[in-house]
Amino acid sequence: MPSETHEFQAEVKKLLDLMIHSLYSNKDVFLRELISNASDALDRLRFEGLTHTELLPSGEFGIRLTADAEARTLVIEDNGIGMTREELVENLGTIARSGTLEFLRNQDGKDDQSPDLIGQFGVGFYASFMVADQVQVESRKAGEDKSCRWSTDGSGQYTLDDADLDAPGTRITLHLKDVDTEDGIQDYTDEWVVKGIVKRFSDFVSYPIHLTLMKKDEGEDVATPKSEDDPLNSMKAIWTRPASEVTDEEYKEFYTHVTHDHGDPLLRVATALEGTFEARALLYVPGMAPFDLYHREMAHRGIQLYVRRVFIMDECRELMPDYLRFIKGVVDSEDLSLNVSREILQQDRQIQAIRKHLVKKVLQSLAELRRDDEEKYLGFWAQFGPVLKEGLLLFDEKKERILDLVYAASTADDAKLTALDDYVDRMPEDQEAIYFVTGTSRDVLASSPHLEAFKDKGIEVLLLTDPVDEVWLQQMPPEYKGKRFQSVGRGEIDLKDTEDKDEAENKEEEEAYKDLMQAIRSALQEEVKEVRLSSRLKQSPSCLVLEEGDLSPQLEAMLRQAGQEVPDHKPILELNPDHAILKKLQSVFEANGTDSRIPDYAGLLLGQAILAEGGQLPDPAAFTQKLSALMAEAL
Ligand code: ADP
């Protein structure tokens, strides 16, 4: 094949630019990224080799680093799966990962490059450009005889040529930038520098990493390769070692290895399953939610599955339910067959058992975090709470355990969230239900007319604002600690209270307003299904309520957006019998039952009720016209 020159995808250019001018002080991580890629490539070949033994290399699987101080090059070589010419173009000339792409697109026009960029996205291979001004990748795919060379100086283009690798694998040659300790660039041809980095970042990589130094011995004119027999890394799978022997630093490095996140994890869960099936797991809750948390299909790396220390697959979804999709880490089973396929996994009893154990452990660890360090837990909740609540939609989960972890805003405290169980603890003995209101913003909810009577009586109400809240509270109203959940905007509210009007008074009031209610109802028959007197209003004249079982407007909008047919239903308009407007309207009505102001006021009362719950008026122009007319009249 002739030599070809290609342009990088625009996003790659941007990424390269960020790397070349990186302010990130920890440039040493480039080596970890390349070793990690090599280790992945070896994992993949080892896996392929289970069924296609002819692909396996003649010698041992491994990674070799060759440092040449004089030429100022560092070579990273593996005998893993390799890449074809097309794969080189695909993998190194474009960025496929949605989160990284999204970030780079958002980065447009911003100069303040965040030093955490590398941490957040694991820019992987491109990290080389922090330390090298020319990079060459030669690769040969296992099972093929041709090899190809990809090279670039990091400007806008790269070149493809034929190469002559004599065995499958990948060889990456970095032409190193000058040492610049102030900028964090060390001498990566120095034996001790290289050894130090490998030990620090890649000790647990499960393949041997060997070092060759190009050195002139005394009396020699040219440098010749000198290799040590012992690998630089201990290769101990970190999850097989007793936790007491693993340092926090090692756990953190391993976290970075599996997640490509250079930040600190929020929580670590190490656990072993014993008995009929044996497995070990080392799981993490990331410190920061990834960009694609809500694109379930795209969530990048999740749980890696190993069988007896052999890597089997990335993103093993079967091991973690969707609502815990933010959990990352490794599961190593003792009993599964090395040949497991994704299809088999779906029905495998062992996988079910492992998954059940992991879910229990993760929820338990979160509960412990909550107990021991609530502030940190709230940091977790802010990032992952809405995802965790998706677990409340499932039928097969123990919802109580999830409900124990739920926090929500509340009328009890403007500044702080409250845990659901603390709410229940605070409930007065005669309060029968956990009261809540759902909507899109806490501020709108906090001033909702639905809450007036509750505030008046000092009854605490939870303010739930995640879209998922609409769904779990409505789909199957759950109970928690023996208490049902009751929306303050639904059905009839009966806040038994001795100071309130007694039944006889209520009856009397209803009788008195009966005809007016009828008149308002006929004025609004297109919009509401019922007009009635309210027991939940104190200051506001009107509010809308739903019947138990009706879809809330937010949920309705969500379902429509998702393309579902939603039956039309009308809300109920509740009016405050103690409000001046209603009293005056009653006198107007008594004087003349067909006074034209009655339908106008009815429309305004409805409009107010819609606005008060943050809704949109169906005809804002008509509303303002009516309002202006009435204002003019009143002046
Ligand atoms: P990531 O490893 O996070 O996917 P990279 O940019 O580091 O991202 O690498 C992009 C892709 O290039 C990898 O997913 C892999 O398919 C391929 N690749 C990189 N290094 C190697 C290697 N040493 N051997 C085989 N394939 C590799």
In this structure, is residue 82 part of a structural domain? Answer: yes
CATH code of the domain containing 543: 1.20.120.790
Judge if 184 and 67 occupy the same domain.
yes
Judge if 516 and 434 occupy the same domain.
no
φ, ψ (nearest 5 deg) of residue 621: -65, -45
37 Cβ closer than 6 Å to some ligand 1 atom: yes
- CA max distance for the chain: 120
Residues 6+ apart with CB under 8 A from 569: 529, 550, 551
Judge if 201 and 248 occupy the same domain.
no
545 Cβ closer than 6 Å to some ligand 1 atom: no
The yes-or-no verdict on residue 498 having pLDDT over 50 is no
CATH code of the domain containing 158: 3.30.565.10
pLDDT tens digits along 10-62:
888 888 888 888 777 778 889 988 998 999 899 999 989 988 999 999 899 99
For residues 85-93, average pLDDT: 93
What is the spatial distance between Cα 192 and Cα 75, in angstroms, rounded to a whole number?
Answer: 16
- Domain assignment of residue 359, given as a range: 238-380
Which of these, 139, 165, 35, lies nearest to 87 by C-alpha position?
139
80 Cβ closer than 6 Å to some ligand 1 atom: yes
Q: Tell how far the Cα of 277 is from the centroid of ligand 1, in angstroms.
A: 34
What is the spatial distance between Cα 572 and Cα 559, in angstroms, rounded to a whole number?
Answer: 21
386 Cβ closer than 6 Å to some ligand 1 atom: no
Ligand 1 atom with minimal separation from the 95 CA:
6
Residues 6+ apart with CB under 8 A from 125: 33, 34, 37, 91, 92
Q: Give the range among 202-206, 229-233, 619-623, 624-628 with minimum mean pLDDT.
A: 202-206
> Residue 551, Cα to own-chain centre: how many angstroms?
27
330 bridge partner residues: 282, 304
Let me know: does 409 contact 382? Beta carbons within 8 Å. Answer: no
Of 380, 396, 426, the last residue of a domain is 380
In this structure, is residue 73 part of a structural domain? Answer: yes
What is the spatial distance between Cα 388 and Cα 403, in angstroms, rounded to a whole number?
Answer: 10
pLDDT tens digits along 400-456:
999 999 999 999 988 899 999 999 999 998 898 999 998 888 888 888 888 888 988
Judge if 517 and 607 occupy the same domain.
yes
Judge if 23 and 169 occupy the same domain.
yes
Q: Give the range among 147-151, 232-236, 489-493 with minimum mean pLDDT.
A: 489-493
Judge if 204 and 272 occupy the same domain.
no
Which of these, 435, 407, 442, 409, lies nearest to 421 by C-alpha position?
407
Task: Say how many residues make up the chain.
Answer: 635
SS3 state at 39 = helix
- Residue 12: the pLDDT is 87
Judge if 69 and 178 occupy the same domain.
yes
99 Cβ closer than 6 Å to some ligand 1 atom: no
Judge if 326 and 438 occupy the same domain.
no
Q: Tell how far the Cα of 37 is from the centroid of ligand 1, in angstroms.
A: 5
Q: Tell how far the Cα of 38 is from the centroid of ligand 1, in angstroms.
A: 8
Sequence-separated contacts (24+) of 396-402 with Cβ below 8 Å: 397/321, 397/359, 399/478, 400/480, 401/360, 401/363, 401/367, 402/323, 402/363
Ligand 1 atom with minimal separation from the 169 CA:
24
What is the spatial distance between Cα 502 and Cα 225, in angstroms, rounded to a whole number?
Answer: 98
Ligand 1 atom with minimal separation from the 81 CA:
25
Residues 6+ apart with CB under 8 A from 505: none
Of 380, 395, 429, the last residue of a domain is 380
> For the chain, what is the domain count?
4
623 Cβ closer than 6 Å to some ligand 1 atom: no
In this structure, is residue 395 part of a structural domain? Answer: no
Judge if 421 and 293 occupy the same domain.
no
Of 487, 516, 540, the last residue of a domain is 487
- pTM, 2 dp: 0.72
| Kind of pairing between the strands at 572-575 and 542-545 | antiparallel
Residues 6+ apart with CB under 8 A from 152: 8, 134, 135, 158, 159
What is the spatial distance between Cα 339 and Cα 167, in angstroms, rounded to a whole number?
Answer: 26
CATH code of the domain containing 319: 3.30.230.80
In this structure, is residue 233 part of a structural domain? Answer: no
Judge if 248 and 339 occupy the same domain.
yes
In this structure, is residue 544 part of a structural domain? Answer: yes
SS3 state at 612 = helix
CATH code of the domain containing 413: 3.40.50.11260
In this structure, is residue 363 part of a structural domain? Answer: yes
In this structure, is residue 497 part of a structural domain? Answer: no
DSSP state of 53: G
- Residue 45: the pLDDT is 94
603 Cβ closer than 6 Å to some ligand 1 atom: no
392 Cβ closer than 6 Å to some ligand 1 atom: no
Judge if 152 and 258 occupy the same domain.
no
In this structure, is residue 496 part of a structural domain? Answer: no
Judge if 456 and 510 occupy the same domain.
no
| Kind of pairing between the strands at 328-333 and 310-313 | unpaired
Higher pLDDT, 553 or 601: 601
Q: Which two tokens stand for residue 22?
A: 């990186």
Best of 40, 55, 94, 144 for a ligand 1 pocket test (most atoms within 8 Å of beta carbon) = 40
φ, ψ (nearest 5 deg) of residue 373: -150, 80
Best of 91, 104, 118, 149 for a ligand 1 pocket test (most atoms within 8 Å of beta carbon) = 91
